[in-house]
Homo-oligomer: A and B are copies of this chain.
Amino acid sequence: MLPFSRVTVVGLGLIGSSIARAVKAYMPTVRVIGYDADPEVREIATRISLCDDVTDTPGAAVIDADLVILCVPVGAMGAAARDFAADLPADAIVSDVGSCKVSVVEALAAALPGAIVIPAHPVAGTENSGPEAGFASLFQHRWCIVTPPEGVSGFAVERVKEFWRQLGAEVETMTPAHHDLVLAVTSHLPHLIAYTIVGTASDLEEVTQSEVIKYSAGGFRDFTRIAASDPTMWRDVFLENKEAVLDMLQRFSEDLSALQRAIRWGKGDELFDRFTRTRAIRRSVIEQGQDDSRPDFGRAHD
């Protein structure tokens, strides 16, 4: 049973283009319509046959849809929804893929009064951006978190969940506020830290940038990967999930100060204890299939 038959993707970047590809790959009879505010992205999407049709206006993209998925930076959700509000069919379900949910729920409710809005967040991505960076298997074995508003039809929620299951994702449900707290620690804080350390390294006077790059295999390299993520998307995430991010950042800074103090005062036992505890988490990440166990830190050249 296909949950939807006419899916519209608004925003054809990494995630939007991966959804388009995944629908064509796993639900080949479903019609996929695409729209992007950037004419260049629309042109690329048309050239690489990403969708069955790419429209020149947002209204034309949604007019016949039974599911519309917003795949734009979280700060642009409200405006993107307003642009097609007048043409949205009354029975269409609107969803999104934003990395924070409280602000998106508010923005979509304001932009689309009376519409059926069921936000979601597939926890998947790569450090690359744009319509050519997507791939159909991106959501396979990844979690998709659905945050249904109170009072919404259970059948509508089930259709959105089934849509993500058919793209290969595991589906979980939580409130928007809890989602934003969980993601603040598992995704937003790591990105902020990675952006910071890569910035710190590039500002040093005593160590040249060429040295930083040459010797990056010692650990720094792993941070450059996530610090290469899309700047617009991440600017919006930090602005829109401000409270949860600042809370996590405060805890992180306290913990870092404690380690700093242990180093300054030569407290080896305290460092050892701390470094031992973190191994168990790594084991669980691997056991639960969220990473593989092959040593990757010293990535082999094929």
Contact = CB atoms under 8 A, between A and B. Distances in A.
Given A124-B298, A225-B222, A234-B275, A198 B281 contact: yes
A181 B239 CA distance: 34
Contacts of A194: 219, 222, 278
Nearest to A250: B260
Interface string A125-149: 1111000010001101111010000
User: SS class of chain A's interface: helix, strand, loop or mixed?
Assistant: helix
Interface residues of A, number: 111
Contact of A278 (B138, B224, B246, B266): B224
Nearest to A128: B295
8 contacts: A143-B217, A182-B207, A185-B201, A196-B256, A204-B251, A213-B281, A229-B297, A235-B275
Interface of A: 75, 99, 123-128, 133, 137-138, 140-143, 145, 172, 178, 181-183, 185-204, 206-207, 209, 211-229, 231-232, 234-236, 238-239, 242, 245-246, 248-249, 251-253, 255-256, 259-260, 263-264, 266, 268, 271-272, 274-279, 281-285, 288-292, 295-301
